[in-house]
A and B are shown apart, each in its own frame.
Chain A
């Protein structure tokens, strides 16, 4: 029997590329090809200059927590609770909503530094998430100390 898994995004013209980039390991941000304005969530037109030409940049994945919520109820199959969701101000100036992992509920703080990584589910689905910044560094250091 298959275990329940997370809800998958529909992949349309305006958003599919972002998930494809995530599946390839990159967190990306859409950029207007004319005026260079970054935008997220992706849209087909630049609201600054109305150009429909765009490309994307790879995000540093670094940012700070602008707000967060911790979900307890209702609990949907395919997710682990309590579920920490953060709204992150990325270094590039756009925002992104994603899950925060590798962090105790009591350690989530407004303004805390976070870094993005690509999480892979058991079914192979890949999705950008955050963890406390330098968590990976700390993990390496701990490993080194061992």
Chain B
């Protein structure tokens, strides 16, 4: 324990240099935690929102369905039947039917994906209950983005044209009964929600669906012929990849910051060895072996990491706690540009693993960077060092 004790004394004795190095390093430390927390918070929020409003506990897709290929919609629908119908009857799943159509708002032509949903469903956070009403026109629900794109508002009536299962084109009027405010583009952009039964009749697809969403906690994965189960790992993969991509982009920034902080430590160590060469010789004369001197200097660098963590804790904990509680807003327009289901504000999430992992990373990096220049000491002759030379 002598070396850490001596290193601590040296570090305290070095005064301002120590505080400057540790201060810069602490900034890197806090920025790493903050940015990682931000992206982790983004991941958690987007995943939760997507699960609540669209993915549920996982989905069964009709064979051939590909959400990225609208041409598959013509054939990707199947009777619900069998075990899936059992789940639907028990309220453990809800079916969705997708039909490609075209709307004509204000004399314009706009492609729209018609999505049939059971107005009585409780599994997804979509206000489908508004679709229960309707006398003449078919009630329709759109999101705020779709409203903005199409110019439609609550109470408007719009004509929709579609092609049914037999290949016949037909058209009807839809009454916009509600414009929902949602942060999930996957249930908003280019989509119109209508009652499931009405869409089944319109498309001549009775009792059929494209997707069956299971309840969040159902844990049921029945093998159903003609249906493919897609778990959350699969459904959320794109989101996780997107967040990871953004996180990697941000990591370039904090890697640069960390690099600068470590460069300052490296430079300080190098200068310190040069400036303290007589001191090194004196320590050797008093009985410290070369490798213990190396250990001493390395330990001083490592302690800079510890001091940086402590300084970072002093201003970082209140700062990070504040951002975690109050969130971080980029402005609504900007948030939409992320392309994922984000609210007005991002709430960073800091896990113990993130904080401990970052602390260890900074500590180890500071220690390694401190060690590299000290290898010179291992080759130093005490007599040369005492004369103020580095051999």
A and B assemble together: no
Interface residues of B (CB under 8 A from A): none
Interface residues of A (CB under 8 A from B): none
